[in-house]
A and B are shown apart, each in its own frame.
Chain A
Amino acid sequence: MIKSQKEKIQRVLAGLFSIGAFLALWQWAVVSTTLGQLMPGPITVITSFIQAFSVPIGTCTIQQHVGWSLSRVMIAYLVAAVVGIGLGVLMGWNPKIEAIFKPLYDIIRPIPPIAWIPLSIVWFGLGEMTKYFLIFLSAFSNITLNAYEGAKSVDPVLMGASRMLGANRTQTLLTVVLPASMPFIFAGLQVAISTSWATVVAAEMVRSTEGVGWVIVSAQDTNDMNQTLVGILAIGIVGFILATIMRGVETRLCKWNKSE
């Protein structure tokens, strides 16, 4: 117990050290090289970031921009999680469902979400639906693939054991296939939360007036590198928090997967 706490502290310190070293290198590069003519240093960016909590960028403060982006990500991500886990597990478990959906999925999977922008505007217009759709696509792809792999890799002995105990197909799906796939599903959810958060920037390039993606895109229009970095910092911090929350949920729900 003491050892694990010590290890945790060491890990946090190592992480803080690498972040500190990165910021120091950035600051040095801005002060000592021509990079300073192109972009601000970390102190300026962090100060602007803190100021953005009270001084609006466009029509919203930074926390309101984050709120907008987060709501878009979470709505699309949750829909992608439900559809992706359902489809992936069913494809991995049932050869007939796999035969019907897997080829179509394999064609859609490698297409990058931003390639869908023109088509999604035609389908859904310039409103929120297009943004949800693009984020959905980026999350759906990873979640489905991992759920599929999870269901495919269920130990046949466990399936046989449940069948021998009298389980019907639905019981086997719910009591064996789904829980056995959980570590894979969580790995997919982890990757998907990052890709969704990354895709929100592309999605908010499609006519929006709020969101962290808009903060970056509008800064590009005005050559405001400081605002660009404030937007990037917001994306990084929120992405880190989301990934940490997801890891916590996984640790709690899949504690059986870690031997002590």
Chain B
Amino acid sequence: MESNPKVRVNHLTKKFGDLLVLDDISFDIPEGELLCVVGPTGCGKTTFLNSLTKLYDITSGEILVNNEPVNLKKQNLAYIFQENSTMPWLNVEQNVSFGLDIKKVPEKEKKERVEEFLDIVGLTPFRKYYPSQLSSSMLQRVAIARAFATKPELLLMDEPYGQLDIELRFKLEDELVKLWQKTKTTVFFITHNIEEAVYLGQKIMILTNKPTKVKKVLDNPLPRPRDITSPDFIDLRNQVTDLIKWW
């Protein structure tokens, strides 16, 4: 265990009635780490994330961020959903600014941050567009810019690229790495895509089938930018695949 982790999860257990979904999970995430979590489909990855963020009440255990229990109003967390979560009545610029408005960031700083993150995700020319006028990948980029603009202590991502085609996914994955390296944000990235986990993760946490436990946490020392065709990449991907197999 880390001495002073960004996130500490102690004996997290979640039941829905008699159904045990998360079974006594414990782990730490050091500050600035990009942790990818993979597990079999239906193993409870989203439940895991929703419990971490208190969107669900946990049955037992504790979740600490900066050594304090999770408090969404006090701690600066951001969450990127699988589904489109942009506000349809706000244009791109207003969507990126949404979290900053909630947090009452001063006007000057807000403008600077909006400009900065619009530029990073390449949406400056589309700043006046409404979500109904954007493609799926652009919508996810708006959500990513909105999340990073709040400079979160912890960014939680729930299969954010799951609905995109492979080319867009690679593009957005590179964008995420760029943003993470620039902002040093702690990122907790859930995916069912093993290649994505190996491509992005500094560490890879592998979950078991239900009731979910942490099977193993692997270090990922591969240099960036990563080459998905390199023997080391393929070797690590195979390791994760073997660990994830439940059949």
Contact = CB atoms under 8 A, between A and B. Distances in A.
A165 interface: yes
Interface in A165-202: 165-168, 171, 175-176, 179-180, 182
Main secondary structure of the interface of B (DSSP, over half): loop
B73 A157 contact: no
Given A168-B73, A257-B88, A161 B102 contact: no
A166 B76 contact: yes
Contacts of B102: 162, 165-167, 171, 175
Contacts of A166: 72-73, 76-77, 99, 102-103
B233 interface: no
A167 B150 CA distance: 13
Contacts of B77: 164, 166
A160 interface: yes
Nearest to B103: A166
A158 interface: yes
A167 B77 CA distance: 11
Contact of A256 (B81, B88, B98, B99): B88
B83 interface: yes
Contact of A160 (B85, B88, B130, B132): B85
Contact of A179 (B73, B76, B87): B87
Contacts of B90: 256
Nearest to B147: A165
A259 B133 contact: yes
B137 interface: no
A157 B79 contact: no
B58 interface: no
A180 B81 CA distance: 18
A153 to B, nearest CB: 13
Nearest to B85: A161
Contact of A164 (B53, B88, B130): B53
A139 to B, nearest CB: 24
Contacts of A259: 132-133
Contact of B130 (A165, A171, A175, A256): A256
A151 to B, nearest CB: 14
A260 interface: yes
A258 interface: yes
Main secondary structure of the interface of A (DSSP, over half): helix
A96 interface: no
B72 A256 contact: no
Contact of B89 (A164, A171, A179): A179
A162 B86 CA distance: 10
Nearest to B101: A175
Contacts of A167: 102
B118 interface: no
A8 interface: no
B88 A175 contact: no
Interface in A228-260: 254-260
Interface in B57-95: 72-73, 76-79, 81, 83-85, 87-91
A195 to B, nearest CB: 27
Nearest to B150: A165
A160 B81 contact: yes
Which of B73, B83, B89, B143: most chain A CB closer than 10 A? B89
Which of A163, A164, A175, A255: most chain B CB closer than 10 A? A164
Given A157-B85, A161-B79, A165-B103, A260 B133 contact: yes
A164 B73 contact: no
Contact of A176 (B76, B83, B87, B143): B87
A256 B76 contact: no
21 contacts: A157-B81, A160-B81, A161-B85, A161-B87, A162-B98, A163-B72, A164-B79, A165-B78, A165-B103, A166-B77, A166-B102, A168-B73, A175-B102, A255-B130, A256-B88, A256-B89, A256-B90, A256-B130, A256-B131, A257-B88, A260-B132
Interface of A: 157-158, 160-168, 171, 175-176, 179-180, 182, 254-260
Given A157-B85, A163-B72, 4 more contacts: A161-B87, A164-B77, A166-B76, A260-B132
Question: Which are the 6 A-B pairs with shortest beta-carbon distances?
Answer: A164-B79, A165-B99, A259-B132, A161-B85, A256-B130, A179-B89
